[in-house]
Amino acid sequence: MTFRMTLARAATALTLSLAAAVPAMAVDFTVDLVNEPSSLDPHMQWNPDSYYVYRNIFDNLVTRDDAGKIAPQVAESWEQLSNTELQMTIREGITFHDGTPLTAKDVAFSVKRITDPELGSPQLGQFNSITDAVAKDDRTVVLTTASPYPVLLAQLVNLSIVPQHIVEEIGAEAFNEAPVGSGPYKFNSLRRGVEVILDVNPDYWGDKGPFEQVAFKAVPDASTRVANLRAGTADLVVSLDSDQVMQLQSASGVQVLSAPSERIGFMGLNTQRAPLDDPEMRKAVAMAIDREGIVQGILGGGEQVLDQMATPAHFGYVPDVAPIPYDPEAARKIVEAKGEAGQEPMIIKTSPVFDQRIVQALQQMLSDVGFNASIDMVDMATYLGDSRQEDRSKRPILGFGRWSCACQDVDGVIFPLLHSTSSWSRVDDPELDAMLEEARGTLDEGQRMDAYARIQDRVAEQRYILPLYQAVALYGASDKLEWTPTANESLFLNRMTWSE
């Protein structure tokens, strides 16, 4: 171990020990999350509580503006050299938080890192069409894909650039504990289970952040988040439901902000485990769920029922898909006809970040038609780990989730959730795999849409997954905050303003 590596690890350990020992410091802006980030390494997770924080520490190769259009960020321009080669020109004047210039070498390193199976990134399915990344010089990088990949730019919106010299020297574990990026905010400290503190980056190349210091706090209880906002101890709170929004409607000094998102509420079914290895049982699950009842009777925030794993905001959304029938009587007959197989225990895996009213409704609806369904609530890190167990047969048999690729292309939803090679998939269907590969392997939009129509037919026939609704992102905020939420649910601090 080099002296520099020893020093870096010692500094990380000192930061963590001091953060745990001292009381919370005064900050200019406080965000109440549901959980603490499960990762601050942007290549290792993109669940909301992680994403909210690290997107302010790191710059991405490209981004989306507030209107949802792909816009330059680290890459200031790009050119398609061929059907499989994309050349990107890297912006001059970007430095990492340690003062080191960001170059094309860091971009190539970041691409190769996130696509390295040994890293085990849960985002691998988003980027594994990239076969190579080569820095031609300090400002030019060429990305090569295995075949024409129409989703490349949309996926690169999610690719954060990390500093090669730091990651290689201190390793992934230390980097996760004290990340260094090039974004508008710098990592200050982490108190496990309590908060992450970020400091504004005064040398940021783009729009500066309006707050000198920001705290992201873990507040699992939604009523506590609402109370903190009303008391002024939080300035922005996330993951509200319609009941909490109603509590804020008449409160002074606060406002409700919302945006239809590209996030899909769904129930995942493990087709590798009994009894859901039986297509008839999967159809019974689908027919048991009153999705309209969930949207209208529980959510009530403008959500829309979905009959496919796509929203109208995604490319690849197939119009006029046949609706998924709600027929509890037919579901009950199937369960009864299956005898003992219908009584196999089925545990719905969930986490506090999700709306437990929905999870409880799902469990009740399944029980009402005769399934032996129960709920297992675990922390988010455990939920994510269980969902990605190497042995697919050990992944949860049922799980409620809310999926967003932040790419507005259906490939970013159905490929990671349904392709047999994905660490998130609970499906193994060679016919479906071939169609998914076809859809992401051509630049012809007509051919892609034809493939997605056939994919939706196959998924509907087999009921591999149960789409529930298009989510609406609901936030509570101080009325001094000026900020427009977007469909990709990013909390870009430097796109906010504060008025006294």
For the record, the structure tokens of 426 come out as 């609970």
**CA dist., res. 498 & res. 482, Å (int):** 6
**CA dist., res. 130 & res. 359, Å (int):** 37
**Helix extents (H) in 303-429:** 328-337, 356-368, 380-387, 411-418
Alpha carbon of residue 417 to chain centroid: 12
How much helix, strand and coil, in percent to the nearest 5, is found in the chain? 35, 25, 40
Cis omega (within 30 of 0) for bond into 202: no
Can you tell me whether residue 260 is helix, strand or coil? strand
Phi-psi region of 337 (alpha: psi -120 to 50; beta: other; left: phi over 0): alpha
CA-to-CA separations, 257 to 128, 299, 312, 325, 445, in angstroms, rounded: 35, 16, 21, 33, 34
Cβ atoms 216, 31 nearer than 8 A: yes
pLDDT tens-place string over residues 258-274: 988 889 999 999 999 99
Cβ atoms 362, 368 nearer than 8 A: no
Has domain 261-471 been given CATH number 3.40.630.30? Answer: no
Give, to the nearest 10 degrees, the angle between helix 411-418 and helix 430-439.
160
**CA dist., res. 488 & res. 491, Å (int):** 9
Q: What residue type is 489 in one-letter code?
A: E
For residue 224, the surrounding DSSP H or E stretch is: helix 222-231
The mean pLDDT of the chain is 91
Laid out side by side, the sheet with 140-145 consists of: 75-82, 85-90, 140-145, 130-137
Q: Is beta strand 345-350 parallel, antiparallel or unpaired with respect to 398-403?
A: parallel
Q: Is beta strand 75-82 parallel, antiparallel or unpaired with respect to 85-90?
A: antiparallel
Give, to the nearest 10 degrees, the angle between helix 328-337 and helix 356-368.
60
295 DSSP assignment: I
For the record, the structure tokens of 85 come out as 């080669």
First to last CA, the chain: 51
Cβ atoms 9, 170 nearer than 8 A: yes
Q: Is 360 exposed, middle or buried (0-12, 13-18, 19+ CB in 10 A)?
A: middle
For the record, the structure tokens of 449 come out as 């849409």
**CA dist., res. 297 & res. 152, Å (int):** 39
Can you tell me whether residue 416 is helix, strand or coil? helix
Q: Which of 475, 27, 73 is nearest to 239 (CA)?
A: 475
Has domain 59-161 been given CATH number 3.90.76.10? Answer: yes
**CA dist., res. 308 & res. 276, Å (int):** 19
Q: What residue type is 309 in one-letter code?
A: M
Tens digit of pLDDT per residue, the chain (500 long)? 343 344 344 444 434 343 333 344 457 999 999 989 989 999 997 788 999 999 999 999 999 998 888 999 999 999 999 999 999 999 999 999 999 999 999 999 999 999 999 998 988 888 989 999 999 999 999 999 999 999 999 999 999 999 999 999 999 999 999 999 999 999 999 998 899 999 999 999 999 999 999 999 999 999 999 999 999 999 999 989 888 998 898 899 999 999 888 899 999 999 999 999 999 999 999 999 999 999 999 998 889 999 999 998 889 999 989 999 999 999 999 999 999 999 999 999 999 888 899 999 999 999 999 999 999 999 888 998 999 998 988 899 999 999 988 788 999 999 999 999 998 999 999 999 999 999 988 889 999 999 999 999 999 999 999 999 999 989 999 999 999 998 888 899 999 999 98
Q: What is the dihedral of CA 456, 461, 462, 465, to 10 degrees?
A: 40
For the record, the structure tokens of 342 come out as 């219908």
Give me the DSSP letters along 317-334: --TTPPPPP--HHHHHHH
**CA dist., res. 365 & res. 353, Å (int):** 21
**CA dist., res. 261 & res. 214, Å (int):** 25
Domain ranges in the chain are 59-161, 261-471
**CA dist., res. 192 & res. 25, Å (int):** 15
pLDDT tens-place string over residues 6-52: 434 444 443 434 333 334 445 799 999 998 998 999 999 778 899 99
